[in-house]
Amino acid sequence: MAGPVIRNIVIVGGGTAGWMAAAALSKVMGTQRYSITLIESDMIGTVGVGEATIPIIQLFNSVLGIDENEFVRETNATFKLGIEFRDWGRIGHRYLHPFGLMGVDAGGINFSHYWLRWVKAGGDPDNLKFSAEAQAALAGRFMRTPEAKPANLPKINYAFHFDASLYGAYLRRYAEKRGVVRTEGQVTSVAQDPQSGFITSVTLKDGREVRGDFFIDCSGFRGLLIEETLHAGYDDWSRWLPVNRAAAMPCARVEEPVPLTRSTAREAGWQWRIALQNRTGNGYVFCNDFIGEDEAATLLTQRLDGAALADPRILKFVTGQRKASWVKNCLALGLSSGFLEPLESTSIHMVQVGISKLLAMFPKNGVDPLMVARFNREMSQDYASIRDFIIAHYKVTEREDTPFWAYCKNMSVPDSLADRLELFKSRGEVFVENHELFKEVNWFAILYGQGIMPDDYHPMADVVAEDELKLRLSAIRGGIVERVRGMPTHQDFIERNCASATAPA
Ligand X SMILES: Cc1cc2nc3c(=O)[nH]c(=O)nc-3n(C[C@H](O)[C@H](O)[C@H](O)COP(=O)(O)OP(=O)(O)OC[C@H]3O[C@@H](n4cnc5c(N)ncnc54)[C@H](O)[C@@H]3O)c2cc1C
Stretch 41-100 residues interacting with ligand X (CB under 6 A): 41, 44-47, 49-53
Q: Which of 83, 143, 331, 335 binds ligand X (CB under 6 A)?
A: 335
Q: How would DSSP label each residue in 246-272?
A: EEEEEEE--SSPPSSEEEEEETTEEEE
Binding region for ligand X (CB under 6 A) out of 81-89, 95-103, 328-336, 497-505: 328-336
| Options 27, 80, 323, 395, the catalytic residue | 80
Which lies closer to ligand X via its Cβ, residue 39 or residue 430? 39
CB-wise, 335 or 452, nearer to ligand X?
335
Which member of 223, 269, 283, 312 binds ligand X (CB under 6 A)?
283
Closest distance of CB 54 from ligand X, Å? 8
Cβ neighbours, 10 Å, residue 471: 12
The one segment of 99-107, 232-240, 339-347, 390-398 that binds ligand X by CB under 6 A: 339-347
Among 220, 320, 428, 454, binds ligand X (CB under 6 A): 220
Nearer to ligand X, 355 or 430 (CB): 355
Residue 297 in the binding site for ligand X (CB under 6 A): no
Q: How far, in Å, CA of 442 to CA of 389, rounded? A: 9
Q: Using the minimum distance from each CB to ligand X, give the nearer residue, 15 or 89.
A: 15
Please give the full DSSP string across 369-394, using - where no structure is assigned. HHHHHHHHHHHHHHHHHHHHHHHHHH
- By CB under 6 A, name the one of 224, 251, 390, 452 that touches ligand X: 224
For ligand X, which residue of 212, 269, 334, 338 counts as binding (CB under 6 A)? 334
In whole angstroms, the minimum distance from the beta carbon of 481 to ligand X comes to 31
Among 347, 352, 442, 491, binds ligand X (CB under 6 A): 347
Q: Which of 115, 170, 174, 317 binds ligand X (CB under 6 A)?
A: 317
User: Whole-number minimum distance, CB 264 to ligand X, in Å?
Assistant: 15
Amino acid found at 417: L
CA–CA gap between residue 38 and residue 351 (Å, rounded): 16
Residue 320's CB is within 10 A of a number of other CB atoms, namely 18
User: Quick check: is 80 catalytic?
Assistant: yes
Beta-carbon contacts of 385 under 8 Å, excluding residues fewer than 6 positions away, are 432, 433, 435, 436, 437, 438
Q: Give the distance between the most distant pair of CA atoms in the chain.
A: 78
* Single residue of 180, 218, 265, 498 touching ligand X by CB under 6 A: 218
Which range in 11-19, 71-79, 251-259, 468-476 contacts ligand X by CB under 6 A? 11-19
Map residues 152-171 to x or -, x wherever contact with ligand X holds by CB under 6 A. ------------x-------
Contacts of 216 (CB under 8 A, 6+ apart): 9, 10, 11, 12, 18, 21, 330, 331, 332, 333, 358
Least distance to ligand X, CB of residue 55, Å = 12
**Exposure letters 160-188 (e unless 16+ CB within 10 A, then b):** bbbbbbbbbebbbebbbebebebbebebe
* Contacting residue, 22, 23, 232, 348, with ligand X by CB under 6 A: 348
Min separation Cβ 50 and ligand X, Å: 3
| 119 contacts 241 by C-beta, under 8 angstroms | no
Long-range contacts of residues 102-109, Cβ cutoff 8 Å, at least 24 apart: 102/127, 102/130, 102/131, 102/441, 102/444, 102/445, 103/130, 103/131, 103/473, 103/476, 104/154, 104/472, 104/476, 106/464, 106/472, 107/460, 107/461, 107/463, 107/464, 108/460, 109/458, 109/460, 109/461
Candidate list 309, 315, 361, 432; residue touching ligand X; CB under 6 A: 315
Give the Å distances, CA to CA, from 102 to 98, 130, 156, 357. Answer: 9, 5, 12, 30
- Scan residues 12-51 and list those touching ligand X (CB under 6 A): 12-18, 39-41, 44-47, 49-51
Q: Name the site residues for ligand X (rule: CB under 6 A).
A: 12-18, 39-41, 44-47, 49-53, 164, 186-187, 218-220, 224, 246, 248, 283, 315, 317, 334-336, 342, 345, 347-348
Where in the sequence numbering do the catalytic residues fall? 80
